[in-house]
Amino acid sequence: MGTGKVAQILSIEFGLLLQEPETRFSQCYSVLRCSSAATRMASELVRDFKNHKIVPDVIPVPPESLLQVTYPGEQKVNLGNILMPKQVKDCPVVQWPVEPKTFYTLCMTDPDAPSRTTPKFREWHHWLVVNIPGTDLERGEVLSEYIGAAPPKKTGLHRYVFLVYQQNGRMSCGETRLSNRSSQGRGKFSIQKFSEKYQLGIPVAGNFFQAQFDDYVPKLYRQLGQFQNAF
Protein backbone atom coordinates (compact mmCIF):
# COMPACT_ATOMS: atom_id res chain seq x y z
CA MET A 1 0.00 0.00 0.00
CA GLY A 2 1.40 3.40 -1.00
CA THR A 3 2.15 6.16 1.49
CA GLY A 4 -0.62 8.29 0.01
CA LYS A 5 -3.22 5.60 0.73
CA VAL A 6 -1.93 5.13 4.28
CA ALA A 7 -2.13 8.87 4.94
CA GLN A 8 -5.66 8.94 3.56
CA ILE A 9 -6.78 6.11 5.87
CA LEU A 10 -5.16 7.76 8.92
CA SER A 11 -6.86 11.04 8.05
CA ILE A 12 -10.24 9.33 7.84
CA GLU A 13 -9.72 7.54 11.16
CA PHE A 14 -8.66 10.75 12.95
CA GLY A 15 -11.65 12.60 11.54
CA LEU A 16 -13.99 9.90 12.79
CA LEU A 17 -12.69 10.29 16.36
CA LEU A 18 -13.80 13.94 16.35
CA GLN A 19 -17.40 13.14 15.41
CA GLU A 20 -20.41 12.57 17.68
CA PRO A 21 -20.97 8.87 18.47
CA GLU A 22 -24.02 8.54 16.19
CA THR A 23 -22.26 10.24 13.31
CA ARG A 24 -19.09 8.28 13.98
CA PHE A 25 -20.99 4.98 13.85
CA SER A 26 -22.66 5.91 10.56
CA GLN A 27 -19.40 6.97 8.96
CA CYS A 28 -17.56 3.91 10.31
CA TYR A 29 -20.23 1.71 8.73
CA SER A 30 -19.80 3.52 5.39
CA VAL A 31 -16.02 3.10 5.52
CA LEU A 32 -16.33 -0.60 6.36
CA ARG A 33 -18.87 -1.12 3.58
CA CYS A 34 -16.54 0.53 1.06
CA SER A 35 -13.65 -1.56 2.36
CA SER A 36 -15.71 -4.73 1.98
CA ALA A 37 -16.65 -3.79 -1.59
CA ALA A 38 -13.02 -3.09 -2.44
CA THR A 39 -11.96 -6.45 -1.00
CA ARG A 40 -14.64 -8.25 -3.00
CA MET A 41 -13.59 -6.44 -6.19
CA ALA A 42 -9.93 -7.35 -5.61
CA SER A 43 -10.92 -10.98 -5.10
CA GLU A 44 -12.90 -11.00 -8.36
CA LEU A 45 -9.99 -9.40 -10.20
CA VAL A 46 -7.57 -12.09 -9.03
CA ARG A 47 -10.07 -14.85 -9.83
CA ASP A 48 -10.86 -13.62 -13.35
CA PHE A 49 -7.26 -12.90 -14.33
CA LYS A 50 -6.43 -16.48 -13.36
CA ASN A 51 -9.57 -18.11 -14.79
CA HIS A 52 -8.98 -16.47 -18.17
CA LYS A 53 -5.29 -17.49 -18.05
CA ILE A 54 -4.02 -13.92 -18.31
CA VAL A 55 -1.98 -15.15 -15.41
CA PRO A 56 0.35 -16.71 -16.58
CA ASP A 57 -0.07 -16.07 -20.35
CA VAL A 58 0.66 -12.33 -20.03
CA ILE A 59 1.82 -11.59 -16.47
CA PRO A 60 2.94 -13.81 -13.57
CA VAL A 61 0.70 -12.23 -10.91
CA PRO A 62 -2.58 -10.27 -11.06
CA PRO A 63 -2.61 -6.46 -10.85
CA GLU A 64 -3.23 -4.75 -7.54
CA SER A 65 -6.48 -2.98 -8.44
CA LEU A 66 -9.16 -2.71 -11.11
CA LEU A 67 -8.54 -0.38 -14.04
CA GLN A 68 -11.59 1.60 -15.17
CA VAL A 69 -11.84 1.52 -18.98
CA THR A 70 -14.77 3.17 -20.76
CA TYR A 71 -15.21 3.39 -24.52
CA PRO A 72 -17.45 5.88 -26.35
CA GLY A 73 -21.11 5.07 -25.87
CA GLU A 74 -20.47 4.07 -22.25
CA GLN A 75 -19.12 0.68 -23.28
CA LYS A 76 -17.25 -0.49 -20.20
CA VAL A 77 -14.54 -3.12 -19.93
CA ASN A 78 -15.36 -5.54 -17.13
CA LEU A 79 -13.07 -8.50 -16.44
CA GLY A 80 -13.63 -10.50 -19.58
CA ASN A 81 -16.95 -9.18 -20.86
CA ILE A 82 -17.48 -9.44 -24.62
CA LEU A 83 -17.32 -6.28 -26.74
CA MET A 84 -17.38 -5.95 -30.52
CA PRO A 85 -14.44 -4.48 -32.48
CA LYS A 86 -16.75 -1.74 -33.79
CA GLN A 87 -17.40 -0.72 -30.16
CA VAL A 88 -13.71 -0.35 -29.28
CA LYS A 89 -12.32 1.28 -32.43
CA ASP A 90 -11.62 4.60 -30.66
CA CYS A 91 -9.44 5.34 -27.63
CA PRO A 92 -11.17 4.72 -24.29
CA VAL A 93 -11.13 6.82 -21.15
CA VAL A 94 -8.87 5.08 -18.63
CA GLN A 95 -8.72 5.76 -14.88
CA TRP A 96 -6.84 4.17 -11.98
CA PRO A 97 -5.76 5.00 -8.39
CA VAL A 98 -2.76 7.33 -8.52
CA GLU A 99 -0.03 8.53 -6.21
CA PRO A 100 0.83 12.27 -6.32
CA LYS A 101 3.66 13.39 -8.59
CA THR A 102 4.03 9.93 -10.10
CA PHE A 103 4.44 8.69 -13.67
CA TYR A 104 2.71 5.62 -15.10
CA THR A 105 2.92 3.26 -18.08
CA LEU A 106 -0.24 2.00 -19.84
CA CYS A 107 -0.42 -0.96 -22.20
CA MET A 108 -3.17 -2.77 -24.12
CA THR A 109 -2.09 -6.14 -25.48
CA ASP A 110 -3.54 -9.24 -27.17
CA PRO A 111 -1.92 -12.57 -26.26
CA ASP A 112 -4.09 -14.46 -28.76
CA ALA A 113 -2.59 -13.48 -32.13
CA PRO A 114 -3.53 -14.89 -34.49
CA SER A 115 -5.66 -17.15 -32.26
CA ARG A 116 -5.71 -18.46 -28.73
CA THR A 117 -4.97 -22.00 -29.91
CA THR A 118 -1.98 -20.94 -32.06
CA PRO A 119 -0.62 -17.71 -30.54
CA LYS A 120 2.57 -17.57 -32.62
CA PHE A 121 2.59 -13.76 -32.58
CA ARG A 122 1.92 -13.42 -28.83
CA GLU A 123 1.66 -10.65 -27.83
CA TRP A 124 0.30 -8.25 -30.45
CA HIS A 125 0.19 -4.96 -28.57
CA HIS A 126 -2.40 -2.33 -29.41
CA TRP A 127 -1.37 0.63 -27.26
CA LEU A 128 1.67 1.66 -25.24
CA VAL A 129 2.07 4.98 -23.43
CA VAL A 130 4.78 5.86 -20.89
CA ASN A 131 5.55 8.83 -18.64
CA ILE A 132 1.87 9.51 -17.93
CA PRO A 133 1.57 12.07 -15.10
CA GLY A 134 -1.24 10.66 -12.96
CA THR A 135 -4.01 9.66 -15.38
CA ASP A 136 -3.40 12.52 -17.83
CA LEU A 137 -2.92 10.42 -20.95
CA GLU A 138 -2.69 13.46 -23.22
CA ARG A 139 0.56 14.43 -21.49
CA GLY A 140 2.02 10.93 -21.70
CA GLU A 141 4.63 9.80 -24.23
CA VAL A 142 3.03 7.55 -26.86
CA LEU A 143 5.30 4.72 -27.97
CA SER A 144 2.57 2.84 -29.88
CA GLU A 145 -0.57 4.64 -31.04
CA TYR A 146 -3.93 3.09 -30.22
CA ILE A 147 -5.31 0.41 -32.53
CA GLY A 148 -8.66 -1.19 -31.72
CA ALA A 149 -9.40 -4.91 -31.50
CA ALA A 150 -8.78 -6.73 -34.80
CA PRO A 151 -9.29 -10.48 -34.33
CA PRO A 152 -9.00 -12.36 -37.66
CA LYS A 153 -12.01 -14.22 -38.99
CA LYS A 154 -12.68 -17.70 -37.56
CA THR A 155 -10.15 -17.31 -34.73
CA GLY A 156 -12.69 -17.11 -31.91
CA LEU A 157 -12.51 -14.82 -28.92
CA HIS A 158 -9.32 -12.87 -28.23
CA ARG A 159 -8.37 -11.44 -24.83
CA TYR A 160 -7.51 -7.74 -24.81
CA VAL A 161 -5.62 -6.86 -21.66
CA PHE A 162 -5.08 -3.40 -20.17
CA LEU A 163 -2.30 -2.97 -17.63
CA VAL A 164 -0.94 0.06 -15.78
CA TYR A 165 2.47 0.19 -14.10
CA GLN A 166 3.82 2.75 -11.67
CA GLN A 167 7.19 4.11 -12.78
CA ASN A 168 10.10 4.98 -10.51
CA GLY A 169 10.41 8.31 -12.31
CA ARG A 170 10.39 9.69 -15.84
CA MET A 171 11.74 7.07 -18.27
CA SER A 172 13.87 7.43 -21.37
CA CYS A 173 12.70 4.80 -23.88
CA GLY A 174 14.58 3.79 -26.99
CA GLU A 175 11.70 1.83 -28.52
CA THR A 176 10.61 2.63 -32.08
CA ARG A 177 7.50 4.82 -32.18
CA LEU A 178 4.64 3.01 -33.90
CA SER A 179 1.76 4.71 -35.70
CA ASN A 180 -1.80 3.41 -36.08
CA ARG A 181 -1.39 3.27 -39.88
CA SER A 182 0.81 0.19 -39.89
CA SER A 183 1.04 -3.15 -38.11
CA GLN A 184 4.83 -3.20 -38.16
CA GLY A 185 6.51 -3.82 -34.81
CA ARG A 186 3.33 -4.83 -32.98
CA GLY A 187 3.72 -8.60 -32.82
CA LYS A 188 5.84 -10.80 -30.55
CA PHE A 189 5.79 -8.17 -27.84
CA SER A 190 5.89 -8.98 -24.12
CA ILE A 191 4.62 -6.48 -21.58
CA GLN A 192 6.28 -8.60 -18.89
CA LYS A 193 9.69 -8.26 -20.56
CA PHE A 194 9.06 -4.55 -21.12
CA SER A 195 8.24 -4.11 -17.42
CA GLU A 196 11.39 -6.01 -16.45
CA LYS A 197 13.52 -3.92 -18.81
CA TYR A 198 12.34 -0.69 -17.19
CA GLN A 199 12.00 -2.11 -13.66
CA LEU A 200 8.28 -1.40 -13.42
CA GLY A 201 7.41 -4.24 -11.04
CA ILE A 202 3.91 -5.70 -10.99
CA PRO A 203 0.99 -3.79 -12.53
CA VAL A 204 -0.88 -1.49 -10.17
CA ALA A 205 -4.13 -1.80 -12.14
CA GLY A 206 -5.60 -3.95 -14.88
CA ASN A 207 -8.71 -5.05 -16.73
CA PHE A 208 -9.60 -6.94 -19.90
CA PHE A 209 -12.34 -7.69 -22.40
CA GLN A 210 -12.86 -10.28 -25.12
CA ALA A 211 -13.75 -9.76 -28.77
CA GLN A 212 -14.11 -11.69 -31.99
CA PHE A 213 -14.34 -10.78 -35.67
CA ASP A 214 -17.04 -8.42 -36.91
CA ASP A 215 -17.56 -6.32 -40.06
CA TYR A 216 -15.36 -3.47 -38.74
CA VAL A 217 -12.20 -5.59 -38.74
CA PRO A 218 -11.57 -5.51 -42.54
CA LYS A 219 -11.74 -1.69 -42.39
CA LEU A 220 -9.06 -1.68 -39.72
CA TYR A 221 -6.87 -4.03 -41.76
CA ARG A 222 -7.11 -1.66 -44.71
CA GLN A 223 -6.02 1.17 -42.40
CA LEU A 224 -3.02 -0.96 -41.43
CA GLY A 225 -2.24 -1.89 -45.03
CA GLN A 226 -3.05 -5.55 -44.43
CA PHE A 227 -5.22 -8.23 -45.95
CA GLN A 228 -7.77 -9.83 -43.64
CA ASN A 229 -5.56 -12.83 -42.86
CA ALA A 230 -2.40 -10.74 -42.50
CA PHE A 231 -1.50 -12.20 -39.10
Q: How confident is the model at residue 231 (pLDDT cuts 50, 70, 90)?
A: very low
Task: Please write the tens of the pLDDT for every residue from 135-184.
Answer: 999 999 999 999 999 999 999 999 999 999 999 999 999 999 999 999 99
Before 13, cis peptide (omega within 30)?
no
Q: How far apart are CA 66 and CA 209, in angstroms?
A: 13
- Pick the residue with more confidence: 2 or 177? 177
What's the CA gap between 227 and 94, in Å, rounded?
31
Q: Quote the distance between the C-alpha of residue 192 and its chain's center.
A: 13
Share of the chain above pLDDT 90, in %: 78
> Which pLDDT band, with edges at 50, 70 and 90, does 33 fall under?
low
Domain locations along the chain: 1-44, 52-223
> CATH number of the domain at 52-223, out of 3.90.280.10, 3.40.50.300, 3.30.390.50, 3.40.630.30?
3.90.280.10
The HSE-up count of residue 93 (CA atoms within 13 Å, CB side) is 6
pLDDT at 225: 87
Predicted confidence (pLDDT) per residue in 89-138, tens digit: 999 999 999 999 999 999 999 999 999 999 999 999 999 999 999 999 99
Instruction: Tell me if residue 209 falls in helix, strand or coil.
Output: strand
- Residue 23, pLDDT > 70, answer no
Which pLDDT tens digit goes with each residue over 188-217?
999 999 999 999 999 999 999 999 999 999
